[in-house]
Structure 1
Amino acid sequence: MSDSPNVWLGEPDALSALLMGLQLHGEVYVSGRFCGAWAVDTSGERHIPFHLISSGRAWLHIEGCEPRVLNAGDMVLFPRDQQHIISHSELPPKSELVNAGFDETQAVTTEMICGYFDFSNKAAWPLLDSLDDVVILDLSDQSPQPMLRALIEFIVAELKKRPPGFMAVVNQLAYLLFVQVIRQQIDSGKLKEGLLAALFDPKISKALAAIHNQPQQSWTLVTLAQQAGMGRSSFAAYFQKMVGMPAMRYLSQWRMREATTLLKHSQRSMLDIAEQCGYESEAAFRKAYKQVTGETPGAVRKAAQS
């Protein structure tokens, strides 16, 4: 073995650091065979619900939109928890049928997996603003998404065999599934601007990674521009265009997200938190926190402990 093995991966990239900081997790809670007349609605829980049609077909109903057929291999997810109904029929189901079960004496028409993605840190919602309200992916054998297909096949196999530990495995695979969906949306070329697109931009992502990984550093517009390999003025304009806000405002908001997590889930002193978030004094931190969040750090910590 080499005296200096090349195993150090360096700091996380911008997207990795964001997802870890926002505590993404996934969960599958239904894997079923649907018979006869049925309809399900899993919206309204402030999650990111998804449905995967394993076999057969179903219909997606959204108020104000034409019904859309979902075939085997189709996956639909709702980044902003769009109200929806998945049913057996192109005709809108009666309200009493929604989430009311089905007639088990009828022949199986559809096999479907339902679950959700969620962020424990609700500061994640701006990450999703670039996505459509409804995202439908073709994951059939004809789809040019081998990684997504492989994850789906693994999930289906675990749910069918149900070996010991299968739920833990499935939920971890759901996490990976979300990351792959994000990548697919970028690869599609539909997302040109917004935080999500910026996380994949070769220049701006470097500045974002610096902010995410080292919020305690005394970043300025000049030093962030250097991270991106750009001049100060061009960086400022490009960051604003891509992310939708000035770089220094984004830095302040990220610091306060970090501070909020520490206030709620640690016993670190106010001064320690201030320094971790790039402030030299507790007074400066308190003032900045109130300006950005509208609350005092003391009130946030007290509410979390009550």
Structure 2
Amino acid sequence: MDRLSALMSRFTLSVRSCAIEEANFVIIAEARNSRPAYLIYSAGEELGLLEPDKSAVLLSARVTWGGPQNPLLAALPDEVRQDLTNDLEMQAIVDLLLAEQTAARCGSASVLNRLGEVLLVRLMRRQIEQGEMQVGLLGGLADSRLSRAIVAIHHQPGHDWRVDLLAQEAGLSVSRFAELFRRSVGTTPLAYLRRWRLTLARQDLERGDRVQRVANRYCYGSPEALSRAVSQEYGQTPIQIRKAAAAQNDAFPVS
């Protein structure tokens, strides 16, 4: 199964051009010419590294991707820098993105968003392939054994998972799986499962789903059990979360 798709599909990704001061995603040119040399993405609120030559910035953009609830963002270091000089495929995508930005044709904002999404997916993929991440989700996904269990959680969050079943997915003994998972991901398998379920439950509640239906969907024994878990995690009851989301949608309706 795909290591990223099930997780990524749960969070809306937006890439929009902005001033350098607001950017958390930039493409930088080589010092000796205007060719793209590398891109930088910051999982934090801003890039604190653009103090040098701002004229070298070919593109500055703001990426939003589910905020702190997205475990992919939580797994990233404060700064991810990708060298483009020896990556012809990435260079081709960047060239298309820059051309679209310069031409400013009809629908360019949508095209920029899609191409920016492609770049970010490839950036995530590269982080997994390099296997150099510190403790966190991407470190777990980089391990071919753990990734099978993690992807199973992402694909089937409502399954009645136990540690032994997840260990079977990984092809490891229970003790070895639990040890390796904690060391690589930084938490226990069931704690990660719990957090993922609550993330999805909150999304569903914000869309207006009923508490009973959400509780059934994510393997909570009752609406009361879900309410306790949500309140402990977010400091709000499911009803409060749903009402707050409805009020925000009324204030800022989607056109």
TM-score using structure 1 length: 0.72
What per-residue deviation string (whole Å, max 9, x for no partner) do you get for residues 125-166 of structure 1?
A: x433443322322213xx2x2322121011122223333322
Matches within 5 A, 1:138-149: 138-140=83-85, 143=86, 145-149=87-91
The whole-number CA distance in structure 1 between the counterparts of 2:123 and 2:116 is 10
- 1:132 partner SS: coil
Q: Give the match for residue 134 of structure 1.
A: 79
- 2:135 partner SS: coil
Query: Are the counterparts in 2 of residues 271 and 282 from structure 1 also a CA contact under 8 Å?
Result: yes
Q: Give the match for residue 137 of structure 2.
A: 195
Q: Which has the higher helix share?
A: 2
The whole-number CA distance in structure 2 between the counterparts of 1:23 and 1:203 is 28
Q: Give the greater-gyration-radius structure (CA).
A: 1
Residues 71 and 149 (structure 1 numbering): CA distance in 2 closer, same or farther, change over 3 Å?
A: closer
Query: Are the counterparts in 2 of residues 127 and 196 from structure 1 also a CA contact under 8 Å?
Result: yes
Shift of 1:15: 1.7
Q: Give the match for residue 18 of structure 1.
A: 7
Q: Give the match for residue 292 of structure 1.
A: 233
AA in 2 matched with 1:183: R
Residues 291 and 88 (structure 1 numbering): CA distance in 2 closer, same or farther, change over 3 Å?
A: closer
Structure 1: tracts of 5 or more residues without a match? 1-11, 31-39, 44-48, 59-69, 90-97, 99-108
Query: Are the counterparts in 1 of residues 230 and 236 from structure 2 also a CA contact under 8 Å?
Result: yes
Q: Give the match for residue 76 of structure 1.
A: 40
Structure scoring higher RCO (CA < 8 A, sep ≥ 6) equals 1
Give the count of matched residue pairs. 247
The whole-number CA distance in structure 2 between the counterparts of 1:150 and 1:133 is 26
Query: Are the counterparts in 2 of residues 252 and 292 from structure 1 also a CA contact under 8 Å?
Result: no
Residues 23 and 220 (structure 1 numbering): CA distance in 2 closer, same or farther, change over 3 Å?
A: same
- 1:51 partner SS: strand
Q: Give the match for residue 59 of structure 2.
A: 113
Q: Give the match for residue 53 of structure 1.
A: 28
RMSD: 2.7
Query: Are the counterparts in 2 of residues 139 and 149 from structure 1 also a CA contact under 8 Å?
Result: yes
Q: Which has the higher strand share?
A: 1
Shift of 1:88: 6.3
Matched, 1:245 2:187: yes
Identity %: 30
- 2:113 partner SS: helix
Residues 220 and 156 (structure 1 numbering): CA distance in 2 closer, same or farther, change over 3 Å?
A: same
TM-score using structure 2 length: 0.85
Residues 284 and 86 (structure 1 numbering): CA distance in 2 closer, same or farther, change over 3 Å?
A: closer
Q: Which runs of 4+ in 1 moved over 6 A?
A: none
Residues 127 and 57 (structure 1 numbering): CA distance in 2 closer, same or farther, change over 3 Å?
A: farther
The whole-number CA distance in structure 2 between the counterparts of 1:198 and 1:17 is 15
AA in 1 matched with 2:212: L
The whole-number CA distance in structure 2 between the counterparts of 1:110 and 1:121 is 28
AA in 2 matched with 1:133: D
Structure 2: tracts of 5 or more residues without a match? 248-255
